[in-house]
Amino acid sequence: MDAELNDVNLRRCRLNLWSNYAGYGFRLEASPLPPHIVQLVESNSPAAAGGLRIRDLILAVNNENMCKSSYDELKYIIKKARDTDDHIDLLVIDQDFYKILKEKNQSIHPRYAKTIETPRTMPRDYEKFPKHQPRICEIHLNTNDTSFGFQTINPLNNAGIFIQEVYPNSRAANTSLRKYDRIIEIDDDFVDNVPSSTILEKLRIAQEKRHVKLYVIDTETYEFFQSNNIPLSSEECRENTFERRFSTNSCTEKDKRSSLSSYKFGTICASFHSGSIEVEMGDITKKRVDVIIGSSSSRILRQTIIKAAGNETQAAYDLELKNHPNFVLMALPSGTLPCRQIFLVKWKSDNDEGILQQSLVDLMHTVVQNVQEHQFTSIAFSAIGCGKHGCSLDIVVKIMVLEMKKHLITRNLPWTVKFVVEPDQENIYDEFCKQVLTTQDGLHEPKFYQLPSTWEKSRQHKNRFRLSTTTNEYASIVSSFDQAMKEKYTQIIKIERVQNERWYMQYLAHKEDFERRLKMDTEVSLYHGCSEQAAHSIIEDCFNRSFAAVHGTAYGIGVYFSSKADYSHKYTETNTNGERCMFRARVLVGKTIRGNKSMKTRPLGFDSTTNENHIFVTYHDAQAYAEYLITYK
C-alpha cells in the first residue's frame, strides 16, 4: 500500500462484555449509506478500553464485510452479539484516512490491522472512577513538557469537543481526565455550544501559556444533563448539586476521598416517557405521595412506618395479618401520615443471585399492579433490601430501578416514583443515583422487535382482524383446534387475529428476558377459554391477573392455560347466539413447578406453576399474548 497505515488508522477492536457494564458502550450514527460511522464512545466502557474511537468507520464485524450493509443490519448484528453475551470483532478505520485511500483508489487489507482487545473484566481504575459528576482538571506544564498530554476529536456536528486520548505518563494522566470526556469549559469559558475549531484555538493558546483549566463531564452524565435540561456550566451546576476539584498540583488524598461523594444529597430526577424517577435522602413517612412502599420482612422499617402512622394503622395491620397471614401485599390506611395509603410487600432475600433477581422482579411487578388498581400516580419506595439483608447492593438497586424504568416505558405510566434513602446511607444513595442516571441499561437503544408479517394495517385503530377462510393461517389454527375438540363443537363461526401492538411489544421484551436468563426458548401455544365479555377485556387489557381465580385456584392464583382445547372448552360460556369463544395464546412457561391453591405467586426460582400435565398458570401480565380468538358453536 502506498498510503501508510498505522495503529490508529486501521484497527481490529475486539470488544468483550463486562458483567458490571451493560453493552459495549458505543453508538453509531443513523445514516442511510455505509460504511457506518461511530458517533459516540462512552467513557469507561468496553469500547473505550478496546481502542474504538469516535469517527471510526466500521468495515467489518466478526470478519463479515459491512461496507454494503444497511444501518439496521449492522445494528442487528451488534445487538445479537451483545444479547448472547458474546465478544465482537470490529474492523475499523479512521474516517479521514479512509477518504485518502478512496481518493487514491487503494484497497484496504485487514492483515494490516492492529488488534486491540478489551480486558475480560472491567479494569480496576474504571471501577473506582467516580461517575455522574463534572470534574475540574487543571494541568500545569513544566519546562520540558511539549503538550498537555491529551488528544481531542470533534463530534460529528463539529460543535463541542471530546477527549479522544489521554497519553500515559503525561500531565493530563495525572488528573481525572478520561477518554471521551466532553469539555464543557476552558479556563472558565463555556465552550460546549461553540464550533470545534474555536475550542481547538483556545486549547492552542492555553498551551502557549503553559496552563489550562478544563471543566469536563463523562458522556453518560452529559446526555442525562442535556435530556433533562440540567445546567452544564460549572457555576450553575455547583449551585445545584456538584462541586469537584482535581489538580495536578494540589489534589490530596483527602480531596480524592471527598470527591467520591458524587452529590450534595439533593433530589435527582430522570424522565422515562410520561413518568419520572427521583432519588432523595429523607424520611419516607413524611413523603406527600399517594402510596409509600415498605417491606413487611424488615421489622425495623415496618415498625417505623406503622408507629409513625398511629393506632389506626397498627390495628389494621394486626387484623390483616390475622386474616391473611400468607399475604403478598398488604394495603393499610395511612393514619396520620401525609400519604394516602401504605403498601407492605412480603419479600425475602436469597443468597442465590438468580433467585434474588427474580424475587425483586416479582416485587416490583406486584407493586405496579396494585398501584394501577388503586389508580395512584405517585409512589415512594424505601430502600428495600439495602439494609441488613446481606444482599449485594448493586444487584438489588439495579434490578429495582431497571424494572421500574421498564414498567414506566412499556406501560407509558405517568407516574412520579421516588426512591427514598435514609440520611446516613450515602453509599446506597449513590448507587440509586447511578442506576437512575445510567443510559447503559439497554433501554436507551432501539429494540429490533418486528411485528408479524401476517398483521394487517388499519387506520381505524382496530385490534381484531377476521381471518379469511382460504388462508394457510386459518387452516393451521382450525386443524389443531379440530383435533383437540373432536365432537365438542359443530361449527367455527370466525377466527380473529389479535393485533394489540403495545401488549405484543411487552410480550416480546419479556420473551427476550426469558431467553437470556434461561438460555432456551420456552414459548408454547396454549388455549384459554372464557366468556365473550372477558374476551373483549383481555384483547384490550391483556390477561390481567386481577381477574384470576374466577374458575378456581387449584394450581395457584394466576391465569390458567391448557394445551388441550377440550379442557379449556369447559370454561367458555355461550352468548345470546349460542356461541362460545376461546383464545389460542403464546405463553412463556419458563421454569415450572407443580402448583397448589395456596400459591399467590410463583415460588422463587420458577416462572409458572402446573399440574405437571397440560395446565399452566402464569403470574405476569406480559407472560402470555392472546394471538387468536376462536368463536365457535
Give domain limits for the chain: 10-121, 130-259, 268-437, 464-632
Q: How confident is the model at residue 459 (pLDDT cuts 50, 70, 90)?
A: low
Sign of the alpha-carbon torsion through 546, 550, 553, 555: negative
Q: Mean pLDDT for the chain?
A: 83
Q: Which residue has the higher pLDDT, 514 or 594?
A: 594
Angle of helix 426-437 versus helix 393-410 axis, rounded to 10: 40
- Quick one: three-class SS letters along 233-256? CHHHHHHHCCCCCEECCCCCHHHH
Rg of the chain in Å (alpha carbons):
29
Q: How confident is the model at residue 257 (pLDDT cuts 50, 70, 90)?
A: very low
Tell me how far apart the alpha carbons of residues 290 and 338 are, in angstroms, rounded to a whole number.
9
pTM equals 0.44
Cell of 279: 432519588
pLDDT at site 196: 92
Of 242-251, 260-269, 344-353, 444-453, which range is least confident? 242-251
* DSSP secondary structure letter of residue 187: T
Is 445's pLDDT higher than 90? no
Tell me how far apart the alpha carbons of residues 76 and 10 are, in angstroms, rounded to a whole number.
23
Q: How confident is the model at residue 30 (pLDDT cuts 50, 70, 90)?
A: confident
* CATH number among 3.40.220.10, 3.30.870.10, 3.50.50.60, 3.40.50.300, domain 268-437: 3.40.220.10
Is CATH 2.60.40.420 the right assignment for the domain spanning 130-259? no
The mean pLDDT value for 169-198 works out to 90
The mean pLDDT value for 501-506 works out to 82
CATH code of 10-121, in short, is 2.30.42.10
Q: What is the pLDDT of residues 523-561, one digit of tens each?
A: 999 999 999 988 998 888 788 665 555 556 788 888 999
Q: What DSSP letter does each residue of 112-125 carry, written as one string? A: GPEEEE--SS--HH
The mean pLDDT value for 84-97 works out to 86
- Measured in degrees and rounded to the nearest 5, phi and psi for residue 501 equal -65, -40
Q: Do domains 10-121 and 268-437 have the same CATH topology?
A: no
| The dihedral formed by the CA atoms of 602, 604, 608 and 611, expressed in degrees to the nearest 10 | -80
CATH code of 464-632, in short, is 3.90.228.10
Percent above pLDDT 90 for the chain: 38
CA angle 31, 37, 40 (to 5 degrees): 105
Distance of CA 422 to the CA centre of its chain: 25
